[in-house]
Amino acid sequence: GTMAIENPEVIGDLSEEYGPDRIMVSLDSRDSKVVIRGWTEDIECTAVEVGRKLQEQGAGSILFTNVDFEGLLSGFDPDPVIELVNAVDVPVVYSGGISSIQDIEELQKTGAAGVVIGSAIYRGKIDFREALKYQGLK
């Protein structure tokens, strides 16, 4: 994500060489601002602004992490996901705070194309087989 934001021409080069459908760019956000360098540095842009730029550069999809919820098993805020999904024409895969099947069902309503689930599976809060029923969230 940091490289794509600081050197957006890399996205275009990779997209041209491998095809945009094979290029997913990470986009991380905290307090409604994009963060880079392993979440240590904020930039004065929103996920929507950066998402549009990434798409223009050739990203075929976006992995959107809401750092405010990542790893906390506290649920998630659907609004930033909806805003990003509505702002871009590429698939958005969401990560951050998914802690139950109900969260997956709520995420499905946002239009997200997929979800990353980590801690909830590791800690037994979500059964992996049950989560697989939601493949292709849209």
Q: Which domain holds residue 13?
A: 2-134
Residue 138 has pLDDT above 60, yes or no: no
Quickly state the pLDDT bin for 106 (edges 50, 70, 90).
very high
Q: What are the tens digits of pLDDT across the range 18-58?
A: 999 999 999 999 988 999 888 777 898 999 999 999 999 99
User: Total domain count for the chain?
Assistant: 1
Q: Residue 21: give its domain's CATH number.
A: 3.20.20.70
Sequence-separated (6 or more) residues with CB below 8 Å from residue 127: none
CA separation, residue 40 to residues 5, 25, 47, 84 (Å):
15, 18, 16, 22
